[in-house]
């Protein structure tokens, strides 16, 4: 019964246009922070390169060019799913940038209307990196299935940020 319901839901979702269109009524946000034992400018140099996601586990490739506002990147995961992201805001002085998904792909990440912000701050010679995300759940209508619920969306993005920042910490502190 559950698999039948899931199949119906998946079918309904597949009919939804891929551009950021309809979404649920409750936007979610999460924030994950890591302290990294390296100067802020060194950490900033790594995270602000919009075309390098080698620090995030599970990313197979990134295609695109530039880190300026308007730059896009196509991320391909090891499972083959793709997401296109676009730089919205880039402030080197504040060591902050903001970007958003150009279109939803709930198989990449079970969210819609996803936007994100990464900030690096000096913490007495070390750095504090904050990864912030805003998004709606994957299912745009009422009564979502558990796989596309608010909770599932929050968990998926939280897991991504935790794994990504752990990878960033390892890359920067390891000096690679």
Partner 1 sequence: MLARGRALVLAGALCLLAAAGPARADEAFVTNQQSDDVSVVDLETATVVATIPVGGKPAGVAVSPDGSRAYVTSPEGKVVTVIDAAARTVVARIPIEGGPVGIVLSPDAAWLYVADWFNNAILVIDTASNAVVASIPVGRAPAGMAITPDGRTLLSCDRDDDRLSVVDLATRKVTGTIPVGTHPFAVTIAPDGKRAYAANVMSNDVSVVDLAGRREITRVPVGDTPYGIALAGTRAFVTDQHADTVTVFDTGTLQTVATIDTPSFPEGIETARDGRKVWAAAWGDDAFFSIDVETLEVADEVDVGTGPRAFGAFIRRTTSR
Q: Which spans of this chain sit near partner 1 (rule: CB under 8 A)?
A: 20-22, 24-29, 88-89, 98, 100, 115, 132, 134, 141-142, 150
Which residue, 48 or 116, is less far from partner 1 as judged by CB?
Answer: 116
Which residue, 46 or 69, is less far from partner 1 as judged by CB?
Answer: 69
Residue 29: CB minimum distance to partner 1, A: 7
Angular region, 56: left φ>0, alpha ψ -120 to 50, beta rest: beta
Contacts for 46 with CB less than 8 Å, ≥ 6 apart: 52, 55, 168, 171, 172
Which residue, 8 or 22, is less far from partner 1 as judged by CB?
Answer: 22
Residue 117: CB minimum distance to partner 1, A: 8
- Are 74 and 62 spatial neighbours (Cβ–Cβ below 8 Å)? yes
Residue 86: CB minimum distance to partner 1, A: 11
Which residue, 67 or 76, is less far from partner 1 as judged by CB?
Answer: 67
What tokens does 166 get? 């752990």
What tokens does 153 get? 């969306």
- Are 2 and 115 spatial neighbours (Cβ–Cβ below 8 Å)? no
β-bridge partners, 59: 77
Residue 108: CB minimum distance to partner 1, A: 21
């Amino acid at each position: 019964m559950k698999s039948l319901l899931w199949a119906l839901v998946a079918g309904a979702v597949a009919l939804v246009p891929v551009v950021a269109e309809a979404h649920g009524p409750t936007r979610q946000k999460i924030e994950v922070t890591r302290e990294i034992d390296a100067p802020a400018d060194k950490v900033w140099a790594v995270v602000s390169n919009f075309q390098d996601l080698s620090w995030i586990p599970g990313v197979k490739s990134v295609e695109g060019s530039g880190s300026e506002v308007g730059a896009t990147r196509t991320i391909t995961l090891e499972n083959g799913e793709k997401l296109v992201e676009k730089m919205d805001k880039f402030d080197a002085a504040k060591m902050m940038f903001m970007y958003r998904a150009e279109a939803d792909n709930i198989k990449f990440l079970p969210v819609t209307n996803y936007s994100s912000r990464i900030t690096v701050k000096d913490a007495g010679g070390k750095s504090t990196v904050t990864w912030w995300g805003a998004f709606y759940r994957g299912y745009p209508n009422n009564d979502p299935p558990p796989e596309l619920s608010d909770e599932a969306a929050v968990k998926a993005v939280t897991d991504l940020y935790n794994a990504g920042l752990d990878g960033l910490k390892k890359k920067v502190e390891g000096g690679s």
